[in-house]
Amino acid sequence: MMLRAARLSLPILLLVGTVACRDKGQDKADSAGASLSPVYPSNPLGNTNWDMDAGPLMIVAIGSGGDSVAVVLPEATDSTVASFQGINPPISGLTFDLFGRGGRIGSSVAASPLPPVDTKQECYSWPLAKLQSARSNWRVGFVNGHVHAIMLDSIEAMPSADSAALAVSLAQTAATLPFASDPTFRGLPFRVRSAYTFSLDSVDVVIADVVRSVNEEANPRLEHLFLIGERPAKTSGKYNLGYYNRTAGAEESTQATEVLTAVEIGAARRPAIIVNIEYDDGGKLGLIERTGYGQWRATWKSAYTDC
């Protein structure tokens, strides 16, 4: 659904060590820690742990025109998404605030539903809509008034000294991960695939995806570590780990996590990160929320779509 973030070449030496298309919705790669585990409701329209303070639904940008959207229905799960095929998206009377990594891109933008796609196809997709006025560089939209923007700073845009310091901090944070290093990757250098920072009232937060690879021609393998860390505001040094997810496997099919935007939800302004969880031929959307000082938790994951 989304293009993967551009990879960075910042080598860091660390001392840490479906059968059918529906099956793609399950985590195929091995994982450890507080990963984005599947969420299934007790009944088809039960609670999927979507944060209702974020509004009744979410939209994501598709294509490059800035006006085509997929309407994400939070109540859908892997076992019920088939029943949402061929429907008109329930967006009548709604307007949307649009967000990217740089913050809010547009406010109170209306959208019109598009005709349902062919329901005979052997894959699943979200209902489609079109914004009444195109915007560029946005990734995610929420119903007007439900969330507030957080601006992310990318490691790519930082001065070289700052980006190098951040890379060192990420190395220190990754070194604290409490899982046994896979012997396949032990001793190999990490590189930063993506990293973003932002500030809350009393802490600085980093979100990063660091990878290392085994470049064997016959069996190339890749390991992703998706990290969220915090440290007191305006300090330097190691980030304290608040969340991590590890995946590893064949290079062409290993699950990766892309940051779409960060927001504060509802009147309580709970910080949350919206991610795209990418498989080899499809993906899911996820919500990771801050639940306390230095604590982040994966609270919601969408149904898997592959069209």
- Does 34 fall in a domain? yes
pTM for the model stands at 0.83
Specify the pLDDT at position 5: 38
What is the per-residue pLDDT for 91?
96
Lowest mean per-residue pLDDT among 56-70, 230-244, 286-300: 230-244
Residue 200 included in any domain? yes
Residues 20 and 141 placed together within one structural domain of the fold: no
Q: What is the 3-state secondary structure (H, E, C) of the chain?
A: CCCCCCCCCCEECCCCCCCCHHHHHCCCCECCCCCCCCCCCCCCCCCCCCCHHHCCCEEEECCCCCCEEEEECCCCCCCCHHHHCCCCCCCCCCEEEEEECCEEEEEEEEEEECCCCCCCCCCCCCCEEEECCCCCCCCEEEECCCEEEECCEEHHHCCHHHHHHHHHHHHHHHCCCCCCCCCCCCCCCEEEEEEEEEECCCEEEEEEEEEEEECCCCCCEEEEEEEEEEEECCCCCCCEEEEEEEEEEECCCCCEEEEEEEEEECCCCEEEEEEEEECCCCEEEEEEEEEECCEEEEEEECCCECC
pLDDT per position as a tens digit, 150-168: 999 999 999 999 999 899 8
Residues 134 and 253 in one domain: no
At 116 the pLDDT is 83
Domain boundary among 146, 173, 192: 146
Same domain? 172 vs 232: yes
Domain membership flag for residue 292 = yes
- 247 in the same domain as 156: yes
pLDDT given for residue 46 in this prediction:
54
Percent of the chain at pLDDT above 90?
59
- Which of 39-53, 162-176, 235-249 holds the top average pLDDT? 235-249
Residue 195 lies in a domain: yes
Looking at the structure, do residues 211 and 118 belong to the same domain, yes or no? Answer: no
The whole-number pLDDT of residue 47 equals 64
Which residue is listed with tokens 């860091």?
Answer: 12
Q: What residues contact residue 73 under an 8 Å CB cut-off, 6+ apart?
A: 57, 84, 89, 90, 126, 127
Determine the average pLDDT of the residues in 280-292.
95
Give yes or no: residues 159 and 137 share one domain. no
For the chain, what is the domain count?
Answer: 2
Tell me which of 90, 124, 146 is where a domain ends.
146
- Tokens representing residue 123 in the block: 């894959």
Do 136 and 219 sit in the same domain of this protein?
no
263 and 155 part of one domain:
yes
2 occurs within a structural domain? no
Q: Under a CB-based contact definition with an 8 Å cutoff, are residues 171 and 2 in contact?
A: no
- When pLDDT is cut at 50, 70 and 90, the band that residue 42 belongs to is very low
* Co-location of 64 and 101 in the same domain: yes
Whether residue 212 lies inside any domain: the answer is yes
Q: Is residue 171 part of a domain?
A: yes
Q: What are phi and psi of 213, to 5 degrees?
A: -140, 155
Decide which of 124, 146, 168 is a domain's last residue: 146
Q: What is the pLDDT of residue 221?
A: 87
Structural domain boundaries enclosing 120: 52-146
Residue 4 falls inside a structural domain: no
Average pLDDT over residues 265-283: 95
Q: Are residues 62 and 80 in the same domain?
A: yes
What does each C-alpha distance from 252 to 71, 189, 219, 221 come to in angstroms?
28, 19, 10, 8
Do 136 and 156 belong together in one domain?
A: no
93, 157: one domain: no
Q: List, for residues 173-220, the tens digit of each pLDDT value.
A: 777 787 666 778 877 778 889 999 999 989 999 999 998 888 887 788
